[in-house]
Amino acid sequence: MIFLTIFASILIAAVSIYQFRQEAKEYHQDRLERKENAIVEHINYVIQNTTYPVSTENLSNIFKDRIHELADIHSMEINFFDLQGKLIISSKAGFKQDSIKPLIDIPTLKILQSTLEKRYVAFEKIDGQQFRSSYTYIKDVKFKPLAILNLPYQEDTTFYDSELQSFLIRFTQVYTLMFLIAIVLSYFLSSYITKSLKIISDKISETNINQQNQKIVLQEGSREINLLVASYNKMVDELQESATKLAQSEREQAWREMAKQVAHEIKNPLTPMRLTVQSFQRKFDISDPNIKQKLDDFSSTLIQQIDTMTSVASAFSNFATMPAQQNETLNVVKIVKLALEIFNEDYIQFSALEDEIIAKLDRTQLIRVITNLVKNAIQAIPEEQENKVVFVTVFRELGSVKIEVKDNGKGVPIENKDHIFEPKFTTKTSGMGLGLSIIKKIIENYNGTITFESEIGVGTTFLVSFPISE
């Protein structure tokens, strides 16, 4: 903008100077032509009313007394030359040969003779000053050439120079103001553009496949910035889709690895069981007096291998679900407060309407429920968000102890609400998607309930209810 302003000012100034000079040139050209026409008419009048015979030789006598009068009336110097270019008479007092040439040079005569109008204007320097010299044929009443009229015309450009100077001063003042305005506008415009680019740059640097990336929302921007934002938002969608597929693939891979491990552990005791059965089948003899002992040994071997497979299945079951309940009488308020102490986030707040609410629950499973819900609440709040809050409340209501975990995170999308408690379902790029399904099973084992409410951009609230056993 600054460059365009400077370029425009220089261009307009150059055009204006050219225009002023052209106007001055055209003005003096027209003025010389008007004066020349008036002088020629005046000369013709004198020739028509003279008492002298009209001839080239008598011109000095005809205009002897009238040439100064003509020069004063028209404010111009008047010179008469014969057809060969020799000076006949001049209105200039004390004519000097070194100032105005007594002869018209041959090139000027040839040009004058070759023109249709028999008129020619030449630019000459007289006494160091620029003059326009007009040469015109003077004719008698029969239109025969008598002489050559020469009118030296000095161009006075004082007025135009003064006007041009005044215009350039005003023009400079206006464009200085425009230049300052352009600097200010350029600053704010560049700040506006770089602000949008800074937002995009920050978002790109924060983009990570292991987190929920936020799209860029610009209220207004240039077409190029909007295209860049649209491309980034499209990339975020594609990255989220890729992350979801990757997470799903990782979970499926984890389950496959687990299934292979379980299958391997189960196959290990099957081989000796098969060999034992085959050996017993080959050696079985009902008449053998030791058949009972052999049958006992065979049964012991099978039972041992079956116990091995049972332990493998139990281990997998414990890994995928949870251990058996160990109910005890607990102060729910105290246990929930104790569970929150493992978290370092200072924005986690705890509130209880009572200091003691007694219920029969498994301490470990209750802590597991609380830590899972609070961990999910923390992960639901974007890293860059300010004023993060996770609020945990314990209260009694209608014979039940209720635990509320509320966050101000990004919320659960509508399309995910029906799947939130399904096994292997998760919106995170890590984990196996078992957390909420496991704690729901824990709660339902106590005939309790878990519900949630969520609003996009506002947050999510989980409400857990356990019955109080009297």
Give me the percent of the chain exceeding a pLDDT of 70.
Answer: 83
d(CA 178, CA 185) in angstroms, rounded, equals 10
Structure-block tokens of residue 404: 């509320």
Say if CB 345 and CB 317 are below 8 A apart: no
Predicted pLDDT at 96:
47
3-state secondary structure 323-372: CCCCEEEEEHHHHHHHHHCCCCCCCEEEEECCCCCEEEEEHHHHHHHHHH
Structure-block tokens of residue 206: 């924060």
Which segments in the chain show pLDDT lower than 70? 93-102, 125-130, 156-157, 160, 208-213, 218-222, 251, 254-255, 258, 261-262, 264-265, 267-269, 271-272, 308, 311-325, 419, 422-435, 469-470
Residue the block writes with tokens 């246990």: 335
> Quick one: angle between helices 223-283 and 291-320, nearest 10?
170
pLDDT tens-digit map of 110-153: 888 888 888 888 877 666 666 788 889 988 878 888 888 888 88
- How does strand 129-139 pair with strand 145-154? antiparallel
Predicted pLDDT at 298:
73
Predicted pLDDT at 232:
80
Predicted pLDDT at 423:
60
Say if CB 450 and CB 461 are below 8 A apart: no
For residue 315, how far is the Cα from the chain centroid? 57
Say if CB 411 and CB 454 are below 8 A apart: yes
Say if CB 250 and CB 431 are below 8 A apart: no
d(CA 200, CA 213) in angstroms, rounded, equals 13
Predicted pLDDT at 461:
92
Structure-block tokens of residue 420: 């939130």
Structure-block tokens of residue 96: 């000097």
- Tell me, what DSSP letter sits at residue 221? -
Query: Going by C-beta distance under 8 Å and a sequence separation of 6 or more, which residues neighbour residue 450?
Result: 421, 439, 440, 443, 462, 463, 464, 465
H-only helix segments in 64-122: 67-74, 106-114
Predicted pLDDT at 210:
62
d(CA 89, CA 229) in angstroms, rounded, equals 88
d(CA 390, CA 374) in angstroms, rounded, equals 7
Predicted pLDDT at 153:
81
Q: In order of start, what are the domains of the chain with their CATH numbers?
A: 2-160 (3.30.450.20), 242-320 (1.10.287), 327-467 (3.30.565.10)
Predicted pLDDT at 464:
92
How does DSSP assign 260-319, residue by residue?
HHHHHHHHHHHHHHHHHHHHHHHH--TT-TTHHHHHHHHHHHHHHHHHHHHHHHHHHHHH
Residue 61, amino acid: N
d(CA 39, CA 36) in angstroms, rounded, equals 5
Structure-block tokens of residue 321: 């679900």
Predicted pLDDT at 97:
45
Closest CA to 216 of 201, 224, 208, 412: 201
| Alpha carbons within 13 A on the beta-carbon side of 79 | 23
> Rounded to 5 degrees, what are φ and ψ at 465?
-130, 125
Q: Please count the other Cβ atoms lying within 10 Å of the Cβ belonging to residue 28.
A: 17
Closest CA to 151 of 138, 132, 137: 132
pLDDT tens-digit map of 45-77: 888 888 888 888 888 888 887 888 888 888 888
Structure-block tokens of residue 439: 């704690």
Rounded (5°) CA angle 189-193-194 = 115
Structure-block tokens of residue 398: 């209608």
